[in-house]
Amino acid sequence: MPSAPTSDSVPSAALGQPSGVPAVDLHEFLADLERLVQVESPSTDRGAVARSARVVADVVERRLGRRPEIVRVDGVDHVVLRGCDSQVLLLGHHDTVWPIGTLADLPFSVEDGVVRGPGCFDMLVGVVQVVHALALLRARHGDTVLDRVTVLVTGDEEIGSTTSRGLIETEASGCRAALVLEAAGPGGALKTQRKGVSLYELEVLGRAAHSGLEPERGVNATLGVAELVLALADLADPAVGTTVTPTLMASGTAANTVPARATVAVDVRARTVAEQERVDTAVRALSVGVAEAIVVVHGGINRPPLEAAASGDLFARAARLAADLGQPPLTSMAVGGASDGNFTAGAGVPTLDGLGAVGGGAHARDEHAEVAWITPRAELLAALVLDLVSDGS
């Protein structure tokens, strides 16, 4: 596992900046991070998300000298700073999974080189990293770079990006690249492949009857959903990484009644669009052997996969820049979880993910980020943005 790079390893002229121009101010970075963590922004609390969006906008304005727009879509607030000639989309989210009050038990802290606090790893470090990387470029090169990037920080990623997907795809349109500031993998690995996600609820409709007096008049939905669970499991293909997982199941209304309705939720993960479509077709063709029972399929493909082809060139570019900066060799990995980068890749925009915090404990009480990685990763992001907006490729 690569050790964390140090700021001492970054050549002062690596980005073409004149000698003496300041690098990332770690103290100010951590102060901005604390401001965001202290807000608390559970995705389902729209008031909290709105407050968080305002704090994000304040931090952006303070560091970059430009006030971003807060875009409200179906009651959810997203923060957008658009360049007039945008070529790169920097993508993150400010919502978290943690309920209001979590700070009382898990307060923000920086001790022994580790940042702790709800949402720090997933993914508020990444949000602050965007701002400070752009501030770095602004200090070194003026406002020109800001004119060529768009920053989008969404407010509902943790619950499926239902209101922000259209905004993400619109802002990505025409961009040369999308850089996603979700947390890195172990050892700082960038995420060059993400599985696509499909979400379903299968509903079996039968007919109720008294289970003692006349069960023969009933149509048992529980028997039907049991058949579906087994059929769904058979749709998985471990050889190509496709998982089909029945999850939540519910059936019936009373212990002495033939159940008239049963449901099962299904989580599907696949590495390719072709696999997503294969499973989708198969799910919609499922039936049960219970006479008169009806199967209704709700849901479908939620996020397309981030395939290796979408990230390969960007990863190679980032690896070259990391070497130029004197940082340890970059590594990459494929993961089963999805992000908003799935949407940009699905829209045909080259996408590189996992550029944010290095640490661990996403969605868990031991959530944390390693301080030693913050400055080097901000430098790498700045170098990557500058490289993309400067070479015209």
CATH number at residue 257: 3.30.70.360
Which domain-ending residue is among 260, 275, 303? Answer: 303
Residue 2, in any domain of the structure: no
C-alpha to C-alpha distance for 54 and 56, rounded to whole angstroms: 5
The amino acid occupying position 384 is L
Are 25 and 134 part of one and the same domain? yes
Residue 27, in any domain of the structure: yes
Are 154 and 122 part of one and the same domain? yes
118-138 pLDDT, tens per residue? 999 999 999 999 999 999 999
Range of the domain at 234: 196-303
C-alpha to C-alpha distance for 85 and 338, rounded to whole angstroms: 29
C-alpha to C-alpha distance for 130 and 124, rounded to whole angstroms: 10
CA dihedral 244, 249, 251, 256 (to 10 degrees): 120
**Which pLDDT score is estimated for 391?**
72
Are 91 and 218 part of one and the same domain? no
Residue 113, in any domain of the structure: yes
Region 168-187: mean pLDDT is: 97
Point out which residues pair with 297 in neighbouring strands. 202
Are 183 and 35 part of one and the same domain? yes
**Which pLDDT score is estimated for 139?**
93
Say which residues have a Cβ less than 8 Å from residue 319's Cβ, sequence separation at least 6.
329, 330
CATH number at residue 99: 3.40.630.10
Pairing of strands 243-251, 149-154: unpaired
**Which pLDDT score is estimated for 11?**
35
pLDDT-derived band at 23, boundaries 50, 70, 90: confident
Are 227 and 265 part of one and the same domain? yes
Are 219 and 312 part of one and the same domain? no
Region 63-76: mean pLDDT is: 98
Are 64 and 187 part of one and the same domain? yes
Q: What integer best gives the mean pLDDT of the chain?
A: 94
Strand ranges inside 63-160, DSSP E = 69-73, 76-81, 88-93, 109-111, 114-116, 149-154
Are 25 and 90 part of one and the same domain? yes
288-316 pLDDT, tens per residue? 999 999 999 999 999 999 999 999 999 99
Are 187 and 215 part of one and the same domain? no
**Which pLDDT score is estimated for 134?**
98
Question: Side-chain half-sphere of 49: how many Cα atoms within 13 Å?
Answer: 28
108-119 pLDDT, tens per residue? 999 999 999 999
Over 70: is that where the pLDDT of 58 sits?
yes
3-state helix, strand, coil in the chain (%, to 5): 40, 25, 35
Taking the CB of residue 366, how many other CB atoms lie within 10 A of it? 11
Which domain-ending residue is among 272, 303, 334? Answer: 303
Are 178 and 66 part of one and the same domain? yes
**Which pLDDT score is estimated for 7?**
41
SS3 call for 234: coil
Residue 266, in any domain of the structure: yes
Residue 226, in any domain of the structure: yes
C-alpha to C-alpha distance for 17 and 20, rounded to whole angstroms: 8
Number of domains in the chain: 2
Region 229-258: mean pLDDT is: 97
Point out which residues pair with 45 in neighbouring strands. none
Which domain-ending residue is among 303, 324, 352? Answer: 303
Are 202 and 299 part of one and the same domain? yes
Region 228-233: mean pLDDT is: 98
Over 50: is that where the pLDDT of 214 sits?
yes
The amino acid occupying position 19 is S
Are 253 and 324 part of one and the same domain? no
SS3 call for 165: helix
pTM (2 d.p.): 0.88
Region 343-354: mean pLDDT is: 97
Residue 141, in any domain of the structure: yes
Residue 118 DSSP label: T
Residue 282, in any domain of the structure: yes
